Chains A and B, each alone.
Chain A
Amino acid sequence: DTAVSQTPKYLVTQMGNDKSIKCEQNLGHDTMYWYKQDSKKFLKIMFSYNNKELIINETVPNRFSPKSPDKAHLNLHINSLELGDSAVYFCASSQFLPGQGNTEAFFGQGTRLTVV
């Protein structure tokens, strides 16, 4: 069983379109994240959710709207796609341990988004 699964793996779309990426984890973790990895491989945190509540929004344009229907799912909807949105988007999950923080994160396979 895949611990963190995200779909689709590849997404090619035109500027101005709206698209969604889905993520599910079966690890029972309480924290989920979305990261954006650009061509320089920098992993930038976008959002962090804890028990389906938004904890962190790292100055991401409001065209990006995460939704967490339950703590096992964190989807990402992107409106009015722009060329600069082209990147690999990773979903991840971890379990917050008191006094230790988030010690180990598990990543989905990534979604390579190409905006043309």
Chain B
Amino acid sequence: GQSLEQPSEVTAVEGAIVQINCTYQTSGFYGLSWYQQHDGGAPTFLSYNGLDGLEETGRFSSFLSRSDSYGYLLLQELQMKDSASYFCAVSATGGGNKLTFGTGTQLKVEL
């Protein structure tokens, strides 16, 4: 089967940098993606890593190490609006087109 682990909660102050880690176990791994979900909203795509290394998109960056089955999402210059849940998700085969989500990390940004 597949499993993904993330911290359940992270708290940081406005303007700070925060890193949300994700470790995964899966077979037929394609890549790791990240999603943001505000309370009452739908998950929205942030980034995807298919290869090792860092992908940067504005204030958000995502990193993948395939050999370590590990990735992280880095949020810089935190803003209050970044308070949300963040999910890592694994795209893998093993029976078909599968997109499996981690348990989610609740990020709280404080003044």
**A interface, CB within 8 angstroms of B:** 31, 33, 35, 41-45, 48, 50, 55-56, 90, 92, 94, 96, 99-110
For B37, B42, B89, B104, which residue has the most chain A Cβ atoms within 10 angstroms? Answer: B42
Which residues does B use to contact A, with CB under 8 Å?
30-31, 33, 35, 37, 41-45, 48, 50, 85, 87, 89, 91-93, 95-101, 103-104, 106
> Which residues from chain B contact A31 at a C-beta distance below 8 Å?
97
Having A45-B100, A101-B91, A104-B33, one finds 7 other A-B pairs with CB under 8 Å, namely A48-B98, A48-B99, A56-B98, A99-B30, A104-B45, A106-B45, A109-B42
User: In the complex, are the beta carbons of A103 and B101 less than 8 A apart?
Assistant: no
On whether the beta carbons of A103 and B50 are closer than 8 Å, the reply is: yes
User: Total A-B pairs in contact (CB under 8 Å)?
Assistant: 81
Q: By the criterion CB–CB under 8 Å, are B95 and A56 in contact? A: yes
Choice from B43, B91, B106 contacting A102 with Cβ under 8 Å: B91
Give complex CA distance A45, B98 in Å: 9
User: Which B residue sits closest to A51, measured CB to CB?
Assistant: B97
B42 touches A33 (CB 8 A): no
9 contacts between A and B (CB under 8 A): A43-B104, A55-B95, A55-B97, A90-B42, A92-B43, A101-B92, A101-B93, A103-B33, A105-B45
